[in-house]
Structure 1
Amino acid sequence: MWYNLRVRMILLGGSYSMHVSQTLIFALIQGITELFPISSVGHGVLLPYLLHWPNVQANPAFLPYLVLLHVGTAVALLIYFFRDWLTFLVALFAKDSKSSVVAKRQRIARKEFILLVVGTIPAVIIGGLGAKKFASLFATPRIAMIFLIVNGIILILGDRLLKRKGNRNMDDLNFKEILIIGVLESLALIPGFSRSAMTMIGGLMYGLRYEAAARLSFLLATPVILGAAVKELPKLHNNHTMLAMGLLGGVVAGIAAYASTWFLMRYFKTHEIKALRPFGYYCVGLGGLVLIYSFFV
């Protein structure tokens, strides 16, 4: 049967056999948790721990598979926000329209694109300097669950501390604000912290509407996820087995990511108050339960 097929990776001088079913489950969880504000890296540490799989994320042999999961997620985001990215490109290279309405849209698109570039800088710098160090330092189940609980508390308190509904859009942000949001995004290097949680909280802190904060979060994540994946793509050669499994996982992760984005954009459009609390309660509950469990096994 297909679920008995295995992929063998050389790990720490030995080997680890990975079921196709495991690769698909991992891809599905990755695609969902990358966009939901519940930490994909934290769940990546948690899943092997609870299901008694070796935690192989930081191992070079697992890299081709993980890279292609990120490619799948990034492609899903590019497809979902295709019109936004196309609008940015057209506005950058097109002449100003004589129509005041169109010219205003062009100015907004240009500013939003520049904001995304500026907001990506902290993640590029911090990620480039310390991504592997963060992953190896904090990638244990207990530590990841502690940070997942902290992530949940931030979501809950962030919702509670908002005194009024935001009314700003992405183009209303200034460069200082987007830089701070970019720094917050970099916290996602720590397993347990969520990229979308941190960027959404940052956006809400500066008065964005929930829908606008979600849009900013997903647009900001796209170049970061894609860039990290492209950086590692040259390492995929001569690993045809993991490449094949990675392509399958990438498709699954991409479909899950697209469905997650579709759901979340509609969710935040219709929930402008207390929208992050359910995710916060989930993080605190799951992190607490697993943390307690870890002391008895």
Structure 2
Amino acid sequence: MGLISTIIVAILQGITELFPVSSLGHAVVLPPLMRLKDMDIRSEAFLPLLVVLHVGTAIALMLYFWRDWLGILSAFFDRDPQRRGEQFRLLGLVIVGTIPAVIAGFLLEHYVRELFGSAFLAAFFLIVNGVLLFAVERLKQEGHNPIGALTMKDAAIIGIWQCLALIPGISRSGATIAGGLLLGLKHEAAARFSFLLATPIILGAAVLEVPKLMKSGGHVTSVALIGGVVAGVTAFIAIAILMRWMKSHEFKALDPFAYYCMGFGALSLVLLAI
């Protein structure tokens, strides 16, 4: 893949991975729409770039939420029992919220990958994603709870919501934010917890691709590294924009993303059918 194509893919990855619009759905739908034959996420040739894009996005998440991760790490050395307990509890919530997606990913990976070849299905599920975001804004609890109000059961429920993102077209951040809102979290807290859950998931996805990369004999090129940097910078900006949006729009904050997903999904179905 050339430099220009790589940069375009990296920007799309950085935006769609964090915005609740499904990066996987876009990665499946856009190649046939734009006649991008060298952008097949199932091909071995795409693996090096895929790994680097995931790493770049994960680094952006860790940098933006560095205070949270530093606090969690400092819990192992903090002598203040109350502060240590709070940070260990946050770590526990992240671990519990991550487990369902890890289990589902291992059990269903083969079946889910078969969906990667269907742009029609991905476009359809983009519409479903939009409907989900729209509905959640009208069904959610009128809560203003912080992350600290979550129980381990709540974290597991949000983790189950995250499993929906295995389907191309269903957004990982959208599903987890939706789960948090339905449990009474305020928008900012739901988004923050969603991105804390995203960090190990996205980094883990990159690590899992490394053996396949080594087996295929592929290698990370300078162009792929540039893509990783672009994806990381774009992702950092996307997180900052989304967190500011969530903080200032507690009322139907997900609606613009819902309208986009429904519109883009419907338009994609029409164009794919032509």
Task: Please state which band the TM-score falls in when normalised by the shorter chain.
Answer: over 0.9
Alignment of 1:91-170 (within 5 A): 91-97=75-81, 103=82, 105-162=83-140, 164=142, 166-170=143-147
Distance in 1 between the 2:226 and 2:109 partners?
A: 26
The alignment covers a number of residue pairs equal to 271
Where does structure 2 lack aligned partners over 5 or more consecutive residues? none
Please tell me whether the aligned partners of residues 141 and 181 of structure 2 are also in contact (alpha carbons under 8 angstroms). no
Question: Which residue pairs with 1:82 in the alignment?
Answer: 66
Select the structure of larger CA radius of gyration.
1
Alignment of 1:225-264 (within 5 A): 225-237=202-214, 238-240=217-219, 242-264=220-242
Identity %: 51
User: Could you give the per-residue CA deviations for residues 38-94 of structure 1, whole angstroms, max 9, x where no partner exists?
Assistant: 000011112212210125101122111101100000000011111110101112332
Letter of the 2:43 partner, please give it: N
Question: Displacement of 1:187 after TM fit?
Answer: 1.2
**Are 1:21 and 2:8 matched, yes or no?**
no
Q: Structure 1 residue runs of 4+, over 6 Å off?
A: none
Query: TM (normalized to structure 2)?
Result: 0.94
Please tell me whether the aligned partners of residues 196 and 218 of structure 1 are also in contact (alpha carbons under 8 angstroms). yes
Higher relative contact order (CA 8 A, sep 6+): 2
Please tell me whether the aligned partners of residues 21 and 257 of structure 2 are also in contact (alpha carbons under 8 angstroms). yes
Question: Which residue pairs with 2:191 in the alignment?
Answer: 214
Where does structure 1 lack aligned partners over 5 or more consecutive residues? 1-17, 98-102
Distance in 2 between the 1:163 and 1:253 partners?
A: 34
The equivalent position to 1:40 in structure 2, one of 19, 23, 26, is 23
Please tell me whether the aligned partners of residues 58 and 136 of structure 1 are also in contact (alpha carbons under 8 angstroms). no
Question: Which residue pairs with 2:47 in the alignment?
Answer: 63
Q: 1:48 to 1:162 in 2, by over 3 A?
A: same
Letter of the 1:21 partner, please give it: I
**Are 1:194 and 2:171 matched, yes or no?**
yes
